[in-house]
Structure 1
Amino acid sequence: MTPAALAAGAYRATQGLTNRTEPRQVAEVGGTDFGAMLKAAVGDVSRQGAAMDGKALAYAGGKADVIDVVTAVAETQATFETVVALRDKVISAYEEIMKMPI
């Protein structure tokens, strides 16, 4: 999955969560749960990091072009930044919930 597709999917999923007019259970909608989405995003970052390392090693061995390495680094960075932004939103939402009076 490309970083752009991953980012678009993550933003679409989070926007779907924030634009609800009434509370719904995930099972009713038939979508994936947040934990599975987050696990998949972290897995994608890990896979892209491994691919980036492979490209860097191939470049060091003279078997890859510098453009391939730079592209792999940029893709990994974009995916990682998306996951970090999602994490920041989750933490912010948690903090807001904790501020609510009981």
Structure 2
Amino acid sequence: MTTNAFAAGAYAAIQNIGAKGAPKLAPASQTAGSNFTSLLSSTLESVGEAGRRADGQAMAVAGGKANVVDVVTAVAESETALQTLVAVRDRVISAYEEIMRMQI
């Protein structure tokens, strides 16, 4: 059974990932397209890294080298990152469809 302290700790851990794994924009001297490309690339890499951390924690607990709480936290972080990525993807697709419906 989860407690309020556990939930608060998981939330804090997710917030820390956002600070560490936040996408960095390219310098302003580059074109706007490369800024978006670097933002997208770094975001995808941070989601992938969260998944790799969750996998690593799961393997560590299977080997008896990690705490189950660490695995649950890593999986929650990975799930949150993936859900955020899917939500952004859905919004981009929705915006594209809206643009395609516009009359010229």
Whether the TM-score (by the shorter chain) exceeds 0.5 is yes
2:54 to 52, 55, 61: 52
TM-score, normalised relative to structure 2: 0.68
- RMSD, matched Cα: 2.7
Structure 1: unaligned runs, 5 residues or longer: 11-26
In structure 2, the residue corresponding to 1:33 is in which secondary structure?
Answer: helix
User: Of the two structures, which has the highest relative contact order with CA contacts closer than 8 Å and spacing of 6 or more?
Assistant: 1
Relative distance call for 1:46 and 1:60 in structure 2 (3 A) is same
Structure 2: 5+ residue stretches without partners:
1-12
Letter in 2 for 1:49: G
SS at match of 1:68: helix
1:39 is displaced (CA, Å) by: 1.2
**The residue matched to 1:97 in structure 2 has which SS?**
helix
How many residues are aligned here?
84
Query: Which of residues 18, 37, 41 is equivalent to 1:39?
Result: 41
Q: Percent identity?
A: 48
- Residue 38 of structure 1: CA displacement? 1.5
